[in-house]
């Protein structure tokens, strides 16, 4: 069978190194994974309990409409139910949106060092990705995004905040972007996977503008602050027209029943969410303090991770850190061979990571 060069050119996504694999390879008993921006505090006990109770219904198909969960999202985010749809992680929703709104030969627009899933899903759909360059703050200037746009670009993906840089767009910038695209035949996707971790006071969620812009899609995930990355659940908030199209194309049972139950409980568990935020903010401040002390350059982050500059090739440093039982994320695939992304862990994990970095970087 012949397949296209687009498909042959795809490489499997490289996730953060799994804990068990690292233990085996390096002969370690304890390993700290600060590589995938997961919630450090573990699964919420309330979610665990709900999952145990839901197991009894596993012989049934899940609710294809995710009714209970949709009601909860509608209530929590104050969005009508016909403006919400769910996916097997936001990754599936990225894939769906590209498949629905792009034809072969169309393009999508995003910035360099944006989430790699946009490019991979586009390429799988025979859609080219155009990247806008970043400035020194590792952020694509809004003017540069608007200048780069042309009518063949059918979707622009704006991760806000961005992974792996931690940068964000302010309220003024979000409004500038939405205003520009309001007159264009182009969808604007704001990927807000890290919205719950933002501390910048001039940030605004694009969800505030759903009433005003029909071509706006806001993506959220349950993989980060809500702590159920393993169950795979993301959702989109968009116009009723866009949601209708997504619901036509998605697989009817794309969200499994355990994910639906867990997500509903996770959205209600405000104590757990607060703890996740606090541990993240304290952890980031701890990283900044120590990077300052060691004169390591870093970019302050609105996510639950921080990018820092090793001052030399990061590959061997990642390897040395692995030997010390600390898994971090190299970002050479984003065009930054000298940088490392470090996720916030529990306080003791953060301390171990900083000690290891200090040892390895001298
Ligand atoms: C982690 C992350 C997501 C979440 O992806 P899921 O498929 O929902 O786990 C989405 N966007 C960005 C930028 C991320 O870093």
Closest residue (by CA) to atom 15 of ligand 1? 163
Task: Name the residue of 35, 119, 163 whose CB sits within 8 Å of the most ligand 1 atoms, as the mutation to test its pocket.
Answer: 163
Distance 220 CA to ligand 1 centre (A): 8
- Token pair for residue 307? 């990018």
Q: Is the C-beta atom of 167 inside 6 A of ligand 1?
A: no
Ligand 1, pocket-test mutation among 116, 158, 164, 191, most atoms within 8 A of CB = 191
How are beta strands 336-343 and 329-331 bridged, if at all? antiparallel
Residue 1 has pLDDT above 90, yes or no: no
Distance (Å, whole) CA 259 – CA 233:
6
Distance, CA 224 to ligand 1 centroid (Å)? 8
Whether 274 shows a pLDDT value over 80: the answer reads yes
From CA 255, how far away is CA 260, in angstroms rounded?
A: 7
Mean of the per-residue pLDDT values of the chain? 96
- The values of phi and psi at residue 269, to 5°, are -85, 75
CA 330 → CA 201, 207, 308, distances in Å? 30, 32, 10
The answer on pLDDT for 14 being more than 80 is no
Mean pLDDT of the 339-359 span: 98
Give tens-digit pLDDT for 209-224: 999 999 999 999 999 9
Contacts for 47-50: CB closer than 8 Å, 24+ residues apart:
47/227, 47/228, 47/262, 47/265, 47/266, 47/269, 47/272, 50/261, 50/262, 50/264, 50/265
pLDDT in tens, 190-247: 999 999 999 999 999 999 999 999 999 999 999 999 999 999 999 999 999 999 999 9
pLDDT in tens, 291-308: 999 999 999 999 999 999
**Atom of ligand 1 minimally distant from the CA of 303:** 15
Q: According to the model, what pLDDT value does residue 163 have? A: 95
Q: Is pLDDT above 90 for 15?
A: no
Q: Is the CB of 343 inside a 6 Å radius of any atom of ligand 1?
A: no
Cα atoms in the Cβ-side hemisphere of radius 13 Å centred on 280: 29
Find the 221 Cα to ligand 1 centroid distance in Å: 6
CA distances from 28 to 14, 328, 358 (A): 22, 16, 20
Q: Can you tell me which atom of ligand 1 is nearest the CA of 229?
A: 9
Residue 17's pLDDT is 80
């Amino acid at each position: 069978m012949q397949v296209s060069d687009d498909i042959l050119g795809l490489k499997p996504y490289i996730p953060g190194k799994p804990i068990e694999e690292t233990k085996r390879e390096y002969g370690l008993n304890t390993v700290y994974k600060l590589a995938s921006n997961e919630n450090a505090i573990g699964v919420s006990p309330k979610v665990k309990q709900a999952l145990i109770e839901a197991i009894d219904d596993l012989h049934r198909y899940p609710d294809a409409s995710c009714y209970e969960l949709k009601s909860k999202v509608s209530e929590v985010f104050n969005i009508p139910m016909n403006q919400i749809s769910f996916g097997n992680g936001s990754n599936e929703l990225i894939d769906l949106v590209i498949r629905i709104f792009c034809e072969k030969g169309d393009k999508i627009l995003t910035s360099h060092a944006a989430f790699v899933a946009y490019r991979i899903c586009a390429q799988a759909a025979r859609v080219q990705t155009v990247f806008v360059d970043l400035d020194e703050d590792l952020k694509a200037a809004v003017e540069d995004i608007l200048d780069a746009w042309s009518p063949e670009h059918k979707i622009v993906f704006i991760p806000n905040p961005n992974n792996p840089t931690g940068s964000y767009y302010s309220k003024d910038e979000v409004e500038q972007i939405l205003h520009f695209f309001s007159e264009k035949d182009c969808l604007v996707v704001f990927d807000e996977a890290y919205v719950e971790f933002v501390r910048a006071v001039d940030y605004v969620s694009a969800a505030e503008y759903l009433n005003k812009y029909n071509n706006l899609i806001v993506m959220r995930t349950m993989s980060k602050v809500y702590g159920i990355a393993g169950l795979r659940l993301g959702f989109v908030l968009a116009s009723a027209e866009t949601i209708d199209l997504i619901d036509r194309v998605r697989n009817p049972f794309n969200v499994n029943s355990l994910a639906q139950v867990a997500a509903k409980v996770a959205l209600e568990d405000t104590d757990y969410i607060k703890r996740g935020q606090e541990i993240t903010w304290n952890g980031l401040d701890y990283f900044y303090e120590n990077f300052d002390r060691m004169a390591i350059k870093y970019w302050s982050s609105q996510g639950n991770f921080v990018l820092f500059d090793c001052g030399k090739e990061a590959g061997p440093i990642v390897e040395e850190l692995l030997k010390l039982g600390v898994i971090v994320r190299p970002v050479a695939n984003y065009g930054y061979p000298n940088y490392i992304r470090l996720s916030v862990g529990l306080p003791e994990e953060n301390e171990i990571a900083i000690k290891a970095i200090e040892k390895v970087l001298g």
